[in-house]
């Protein structure tokens, strides 16, 4: 049976659960059918735990499987893997969750570095500023390995991130728009560092108007809970309105507001809807 080899840091563990009278020391962590686990390093030697939800069925007529890259994999991989397998029509996708060799769902120190822009020295605790290094890891190391392992449709690559991960997704769209066709940013931290993304947005917009970008079939979807800070919701709506000016070049953008959800609950609430957005409602 293929399976994720003892997913020790994901949300589904039973390290402290008693099973049939077994002690916690005798119990084994849950494994997930239809998955693989890779250990990888960045060029700088940073360790990553890559969790793969394997595609099922024949290769699509496009010649390759669509791929969804998921940030904060330790926290969100089990939910996305389960939601993907629950619908037969979604099983023919490769889900690549990027996580860390940590015992917690969210490794705050590691994600603070990987997902953030540089900070002044006096504010750089924990260490931040690794966005471009992390993008290099994804583009130069992770994607080639995924391409080697699976037949991939290079026109069907998506990125999904929450909070800092959503902010990182918007940054990736603005700075490397060819890397992913679709970005889903759940509660992105657009306010971070005095809205530093505005500078990258201006450069991105200028390049689009100058005809320097191919934004055909590109999209940014932002999700937010209606119980989050009003300013955060306003920032997302404002960004979407500004990006509407780029629809003439092919970029599609929208904001979805989820009733009754807050910053920490929304990524689990919208899991199925994110997959629906990426795999069902449109052709990539």
Question: What backbone phi and psi angles, to 5 degrees, belong to 76?
Answer: -110, -10
pLDDT at position 252, please? 96
E strand map for the chain: 35-41, 47-53, 65-70, 94-99, 152-162, 182-186, 218-225, 251-258
Structure tokens at 85: 């397998």
**For residues 80 and 69, is the Cβ–Cβ distance under 8 A?**
no
Bond before 126 cis per omega within 30 degrees = yes
- For 35-279, give the CATH class: alpha beta
Cβ–Cβ under 8 Å, residues 267 and 160: no
Q: What is the pLDDT of residue 21?
A: 52
How far out from the chain centre does Cα 173 lie? 12
**Across the 284 residues of the chain, what is the mean pLDDT of every consecutive 10-residue run?**
43 40 66 95 98 96 95 97 94 97 94 92 83 98 98 96 98 98 97 95 98 95 97 96 96 96 96 92 46
Q: Whole-prediction pTM value?
A: 0.90
């Amino acid at each position: 049976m293929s399976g994720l080899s003892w997913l020790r840091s994901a949300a589904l563990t039973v390290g402290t659960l008693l099973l049939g009278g077994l002690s916690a020391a005798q119990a084994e962590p849950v494994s997930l059918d239809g998955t693989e686990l890779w250990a990888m390093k960045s060029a700088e030697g940073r360790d990553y735990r890559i969790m793969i939800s394997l595609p099922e069925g024949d290769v699509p007529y496009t010649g390759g499987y669509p791929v969804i890259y998921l940030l904060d994999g330790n926290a969100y991989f089990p939910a996305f893997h389960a939601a993907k397998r629950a619908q037969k029509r979604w099983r023919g996708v490769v889900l690549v969750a990027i996580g860390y060799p940590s015992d917690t769902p969210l490794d705050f120190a590691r994600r603070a570095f990987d997902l953030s822009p540089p900070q002044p020295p006096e504010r750089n605790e924990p260490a931040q500023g690794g966005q471009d290094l992390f993008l290099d890891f994804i583009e130069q190391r992770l994607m080639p390995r995924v391409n080697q392992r699976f037949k991939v449709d290079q026109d069907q690559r998506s990125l999904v991130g929450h909070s800092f991960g959503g902010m990182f997704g918007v940054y990736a769209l603005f700075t490397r728009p060819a890397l992913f066709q679709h970005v889903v940013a759940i509660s992105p931290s657009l306010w971070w560092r005095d809205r530093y993304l505005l500078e990258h947005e201006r450069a991105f917009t200028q390049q689009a108007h100058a005809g320097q970008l191919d934004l055909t079939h590109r999209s940014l979807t932002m999700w937010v809970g209606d119980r989050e800070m009003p300013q955060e919701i306003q920032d997302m709506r404002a960004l979407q309105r500004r990006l509407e000016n780029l629809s003439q070049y092919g970029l599609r953008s929208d904001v979805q507001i989820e009733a009754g959800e807050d910053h920490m609950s929304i990524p689990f609430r919208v899991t199925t809807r994110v997959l629906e957005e990426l795999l069902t409602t449109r052709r990539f």
